[in-house]
Amino acid sequence: MADLKMPEINYVIVAGNLTKDPVFRQTTNNTPVVNFSIASNRKYKDSSNQWQEDVCYVGIVAWNKLAESCRDRLKKGFAVLVDGELQSRSWKSEDGHNRSIVEIKARRIQFLNKRGKLNDTENGQNGHTSDNDDFSDDDSVDYSEDSFDKFLSNEESDLLK
């Protein structure tokens, strides 16, 4: 039997809502990093033809300018589309136990809430949107700043052309 080579593919796309506000830090080298988790829902019909919902909680990590953008633009409950790769890491906890996690290292994040809702302080919400905010189409909203492409390096942009 011939040797088969498996392709090395590690690519993930997931959409969901933030379960908490993002946690922003800087490494000892002052590299920005943000961590957050999202809940991604799946609806299906069970054997009795009733709709059920399954929730998958996914950890996300973003670095550099993408981390800063997440810090400035995301809050608990906001919707995002994340494009990235799976990564695993291990560490020893404070109580001495070995821990490990699999999370998505984000390459690109699409912010799905309208721009401008974060900075809306006139209505007394201090930048938070309420559950009953109207997210219908509005010609006055500029989505151009939400493009994935602004987070790509020149090399990555060339690969997509």
pLDDT digit string (tens) for 64-85? Answer: 999 999 999 999 999 999 999 9
Q: Which of 46, 56, 70, 45 is nearest to 16 (CA)?
A: 56
CA 145 to chain centre: 16
CB 98 within 8 A of CB 92: yes
The Cα 135–Cα 112 span in angstroms is 10
The whole-number pLDDT of residue 153 equals: 63
> pLDDT by residue for the chain (161 residues), tens digit each?
568 888 889 999 999 999 999 999 999 999 999 999 999 999 989 999 999 999 999 999 999 999 999 999 999 999 999 999 999 999 999 999 999 999 999 999 999 987 654 554 333 333 433 333 333 333 333 434 444 555 556 665 555 55
∠ Cα 125 14 7 (to 5°): 155
HSE (side-chain half, CA atoms, 13 Å) at 41: 9
pTM of the prediction? 0.67
**b/e sequence 63-85, b meaning 16+ C-beta within 10 Å:** eeebbebbbebbbebbebbbbbe
pLDDT tens digits, residue range 126-151?
A: 343 333 333 333 333 343 444 455 55
By CB neighbour count within 10 A (0-12 exposed, 13-18 middle, 19+ buried), where does 14 fall? middle
